[in-house]
Amino acid sequence: MLDELRELYQEVILDHGKNPRNLRRIGDANHHAQGNNPMCGDTLSVYLLTNGQNLIEDVSFIGKGCAISMASASMMTEILKGKTVEEAETLFHGFHDLCTKDDADLSEAEATDADAVERLQVLSGVRTFPVRVKCATLAWHTMDAALKGDAEISTE
């Protein structure tokens, strides 16, 4: 019982959950979206500042939620800073598969940033907790919506 829980709540997640990085609003963000998880009422805003070369110069988030959703958002902001929009999308798809598929093909995401994929593996414990997948992916869905120009998304 505890083993699976420890797998889900690894130290890294607890740390990011308690001390989320980039928890702030970017004043001159040119992409922003709000994500909702209607099941639990969590809302999370993601802010991105991209430049003319489609490079993500800054990324942050504001929100309150469970350890999984906070850790996921926090790690995402760390990973995406300095990536291009295309790379962010590739990592999003890789992460999504990581959280939902046992035999996910992560080659594309790994080609983009193998180190990031390895770090994100700590969240893959949600695969054994299907109701928690939305917690892990909310920030990424919201980031994706922000880049695509959708103001609001829901994980339903």
Partner 1 sequence: MSLLKTPTLPNDSRPGDNSIAAFDVERVREDFPILKREVYGRPLVYLDNGASAQKPRQVIDAMTRVMEESYSNVHRGVHRLSQEATDLFEGARERVAAFVNAGSPDEIIFTRGATEAINMLAACFASQVQPGDEIIISEMEHHSNIVPWQFLRDRSGIVLKAVPIDDDGNFDMDAYRGLLSPRTKLVAVTHISNALGSITPLKQIIQEAHAAGAQVMVDGCQALPHMRVDVRELDADYYAFSSHKMYGPTGIGALYGKKDLLNRLPPYQGGGDMIATVTLEKSTFKAAPHRFEAGTPAIIEAVGFGAAVDYLNSIGMNAIAAHEEGLLAYATRKLEAIEGLQIIGKAKEKAGIISFVLEGAHAHDIGTIVDRSGVALRAGHHCAQPVMDRFGLSATARVSFGLYNTPAEVDVLAEALQTVRDFFG
Q: Give the interface with partner 1 as residue ranges (CB under 8 A).
A: 1-2, 4-5, 8-9, 14, 18, 39-43, 64-69, 129, 131-132, 135
Please, which residue, 83 or 141, has the CB nearer to partner 1?
141
Nearer to partner 1, 115 or 156 (CB): 156
Nearer to partner 1 by C-beta: 82 or 130? 130
Distance CA 70, CA 153 (A): 17
The rounded distance, in Å, linking the Cα atoms of 72 and 36 is 15
> How far apart are CB 64 and partner 1 at their closest, in Å?
6
* Minimum separation from the CB atom of position 129 to partner 1 (A): 6
Token reading at 56? 């993500």
CA distance 108 to 110: 5
Nearest distance from C-beta of residue 27 to partner 1, angstroms: 25
**Which among 6, 7, 1, 8 is positioned nearest to 132, based on CA atoms?**
8
In angstroms, give the least distance from the CB of 54 to partner 1: 34
Nearer to partner 1, 67 or 98 (CB): 67
Task: Specify whether the CB–CB gap between 94 and 117 falls below 8 A.
Answer: yes
For residue 4, the minimal CB distance to partner 1 (Å) is: 7
Cβ nearer to partner 1, comparing 8 with 117: 8
| Closest by Cα among 66, 65, 98, 95 to 80 | 95
For residue 38 the two structure tokens come to 């209607």
Spatial CB neighbours of 131, under 8 Å, sequence gap ≥ 6 = 39
